[in-house]
Structure 1
Amino acid sequence: MSKLSWGMIGGGEGSQIGGAHRVAATLDGAFTFAAGALDIDPEKGRDFAVRLGAGQDRAYGDWREMLDGESSRPDRVDLVTVATPNNTHFEITKAFLQAGFNVLCEKPMTTTIAEAEEIVAIARESGRLCAVNYGYSGYPLVRQMQAMVAGGELGRVRLVVAEFAHGFHADAADADNPRVRWRYDPAQAGISSVVADCGSHALHMACFVIGQEVTTLSADFASCIEGRKLEDDALIAFRMNGGTVGRLWTSAVAVGRMHGLTLQVFGEKGGLRWAQEQPNQLIWTPLNEASRILERGSSELLPAAQRASRLAIGHTEGMFGAFGNLYANLAEAIHAQKEGGRPDKQNLSFPTAEEGLHSIAAIHAAVASAKAGGTWVAVER
């Protein structure tokens, strides 16, 4: 297949997430970086885009300039990644979808349910792809878990327990650190901080793996550092439409926890346990049997996990590879779109705008529940 061209908005030099996207998009040779509006400072953004390989005429000062410039080109970019602060996701994603571009948006896709519903509708009407970067669903052994659940190896799933807890916002002295401050500012982050930032990843992974959606939930939020307007710790109990019971803990003040993304799935016939910091191993415990370790890269894994692996067994594949799997899936879908064909369904595992909408609805329900003292709240569908 020929290489596709790719553009990025946000994720400039020094960005926490921009570098990961740039490695992931080009990991399998599917995309070439062609255009960007990378920084809130127009000149810094232009300079960095040129250093990354964009032509002078495709190094843009802001996203509106990029939209105008790319829309008029016969060789416009095939995919645009939006990696800007939360409060800008809706406007940028909407504009590019309406102009006929495929979009990969950082999570959360929007800050309101109405905006998320509008993005879903525009994507459907335009026929463009709109994906959301719940990138951890790209890990090979997460896809192994999903395939095992779908194949009935666990039987009916009774319970799912998800965590995403770290301690990197635990220092009260960081109140004026711009990388931390915006996450607790409702004007930039929206109605939620750690649940939207980290908890949404864990919740999406739970939904992705067991193939169910959240219907009701009860939440307890805490702002452990004085002065924060949004939560830095949360505990959520939830119920799913397939009858599964769920538990989620997410925190930004858990000193000693590094990345802290884990998922445990407990079914009638056995249980699974995976941790993102040890991504090469999945613990599988069949009912009444000893636990065993499933290794990434093993020939015994199911096809979904084997397709998502690049290295031989024993070598570490991490976040770049997981994000790269989303870009690889998107590339196949875009090639099919351009050629009028149908992509292999087994390779279309990227999170969609519909999944982004479900996450936003769950976040809003959690905020409402927490404000009401933990009352059970229905998640809008």
Structure 2
Amino acid sequence: MKKLKWGMIGGGEGSQIGPAHRLGSGLDSLFEFTAGALDHRSQEGIDYGKRLGLGDRAYGDWQDMLSAEKKRDDRVDLVTVATPNSTHFEITKAFLENGFHVLCEKPMTMTVEEGEEIVKIARTTGNICAVNYGYTGYSLVRHMKAMVARGDIGKVRLVNAEFAHGHHADAADANNPRVRWRYDPAQVGVSAQFADCGIHAMHMASFVTGQEVTKLAADTVSCIDVRTLEDDAMVNFRMDGGAVGRLWTSSIAIGRQHGLSIQVFGETGGLRWSQEHPNQLYYMPLGERLQIIERGEANLSPEADRTTRVTIGHAEGMPLAFANIYTDLAEAITARKEGRDMDPAANLYPRAEDGLRSMAAVYAVAESGKKDGIWLDARPPMFR
């Protein structure tokens, strides 16, 4: 199969997320890194892009990239937006409207209204707008979803999700520019920790259970009192399939490193998975012994088999999870080019609708936290 052409905005030298995207996009030789506007500093971005082999398709800013790429017969097939949060909407909107498929880092937008506009544009243009909830790319997360869907644990009663770390727990570090911006409303909006990490856990709950969050109640707190926005949140929620949800997210949990985990409890069994130990999925059937399902073992679901690359016992990490999002998108784009249906086992990439639901939850958590945890509708207006 001919490689698809891939471009990136943001993710420049020293970026935390850029290398994971470049590794993920190229891992299966489905995409060729062709174009990029990698830094807000024009010349630095051009120089870095050239060192990565982009040549004259290393651009000084995203506007130059859009202007040049839309005129080319060999334009990029997919653009990844990995810039600061406040720029996601403008860039994603512009590329969608000009005929490009987009993978946007989360959060997709800064407001619910912007999120609804992106959903409408994607639906109107027919272009793909995916959102990088990259942890849903893990093989055993996809197997977990398949097990729930086929009824292995019966009707889901309860889902418990966490994303807690302790890397912002030092009060003496609160004014460090690399930390402070994350709690600055001018740069991140109405929420800090929940918008940064909590929405990963909430999206994971919806992804695995196949249910959407309808309402929630939140207790939010700034444990370091100089912060305007929360560094810890506890969220109770209800889902449209009847499941009850509990979510804890924190950046002051000393001793926690990454801290993303999910547990799903049904009428006839329970499942448990942690991102720090992604090769094992724990399955407890009612009245039986605990089973440990290993990534790469025989007789897993097609969704898990498709997203496994190395043999059992060897670790697969975050870049490979990202790569599974890219393989989903490559299949979706190629199927469109070839005029066929895509492989259903690959039809799992997070959509603009997921990004919109997350933003509606962010605003509901922020408002509920200010109002002593009252229950609020967590759905965006267009989905009510």
> Normalising by the residue count of structure 2, what TM-score does the alignment of the two structures yield?
0.97
Aligned mates of 1:54, 1:145 — CA distance in 2: 39
Contact 2:306-2:345 at 8 Å conserved across structures: no
1:37–1:59 Cα contact (<8 Å) kept: yes
Preserved contact between residue 86 and residue 187 of structure 2 (Cα < 8 Å)? yes
Q: Which moved more, 1:175-184 or 1:363-372?
A: 175-184
What pairs with 1:31-46 in structure 2 (closer than 5 Å)? 31-46=31-46
Cα deviation, residue 177, structure 1: 2.9
CA contact 2:108–2:115 (8 Å) conserved in 1: yes
State the shift of 1:372 in Å.
Answer: 0.8
Inter-partner Cα distance in structure 2 for 1:75 and 1:65 = 16
Alpha-carbon shift at residue 73 of structure 1 (Å) = 1.1
The alpha-carbon deviation at position 207 of structure 1 amounts to 0.1
Deviation at 1:229, TM superposition (A): 1.4
Equivalent residue for 2:108?
Answer: 109
Query: What does residue range 47-86 of structure 1 map to in structure 2 within 5 Å?
Result: 47-55=47-55, 57-86=56-85
Question: By how many angstroms is 1:31 displaced?
Answer: 0.6
1:300 pairs with 2:299: yes
Shift of 1:173: 2.7
- 2:164 corresponds to which residue? 165
**Does structure 2 conserve the Cα–Cα contact (< 8 Å) formed by 1:97 and 1:128?**
yes
Of all paired residues, the percent bearing the same amino acid is 64
| Counterpart position of 1:326 | 325
The CA deviation string for residues 221-260 of structure 1, in whole angstroms up to 9 with x for no partner, is: 1111122111111000000000000000000111110000
Which residues of 2 match residues 255-266 of structure 1 at below 5 A? Answer: 255-266=254-265
Which segments of 5 or more consecutive residues in structure 2 lack a partner in the other structure?
A: none
Helix, strand or coil: the match of 1:77? coil
Q: Report the residue type matching 2:190 in the other structure.
A: I
- The corresponding residue for 1:357 is 356
Matched to 2:282, the amino acid is I
CA distance in 2: counterparts of 1:349 and 1:53, whole angstroms: 31
Local SS of the residue matching 1:279? strand
**2:308 & 2:8 partners in 1: Cα distance?**
25
SS of residue matched to 2:160: strand
Alignment partners' CA distance in 1, 2:183 and 2:62: 25
1:21 paired with 2:21, answer yes
Once structures 1 and 2 are overlaid, which stretch shifts more, 160-169 or 220-229? 220-229
**Contact 2:168 2:174 survives alignment (8 Å):** no
- Cα contact 2:140–2:280 (8 A) shared by 1: yes
SS in 1 for 2:205: helix
Secondary structure class of the residue paired with 2:174: helix
Work out whether 1:144 is the aligned partner of 2:146: no
Distance 2:172 2:100 in 1: 42
Matched pairs, number: 380
Contact 1:10 1:37 in 2 (8 A): yes
- Distance between the aligned counterparts of 1:193 and 1:51, measured in 2? 35
CA distance in 2, matches of 1:53, 1:206: 39
CA contact (8 A) 2:103 2:132 kept: yes
Residue type of the alignment partner of 1:14: G
Q: Distance in 1 between matches of 2:183 and 2:63?
A: 27
1:209 maps to which residue? 208
Q: What CA RMSD, in Å, does the superposition of the two structures yield over aligned residues?
A: 0.9
The answer to whether the 8 A contact 1:86-1:190 is kept is: no
Give deviations 1:272-303, integer Å, cap 9, x for gaps.
00000000000000001111100000003222
Q: Residue 40 of structure 1: CA displacement?
A: 1.3
Give the C-alpha shift of residue 74 in structure 1: 1.1
**Structure 1 residue 8 corresponds to structure 2 residue 8:** yes
| Contact in 1 for aligned 2:79/2:101 (Cα 8 Å) | yes
Q: What amino acid is the match of 1:31? A: F
Match of 1:192, SS state, is coil
Q: Secondary structure at the match of 1:343?
A: coil
Specify the SS of the correspondent of 1:161: strand
Distance in structure 1 (CA, Å) of the matches to 2:62 and 2:330:
22
One-letter identity of the residue aligned with 1:330: L
CA distance in 2, matches of 1:345, 1:52: 34
Amino acid at match of 1:45: G
Shift of 1:53: 1.2
Bigger shift: 218-227 or 279-288? 218-227
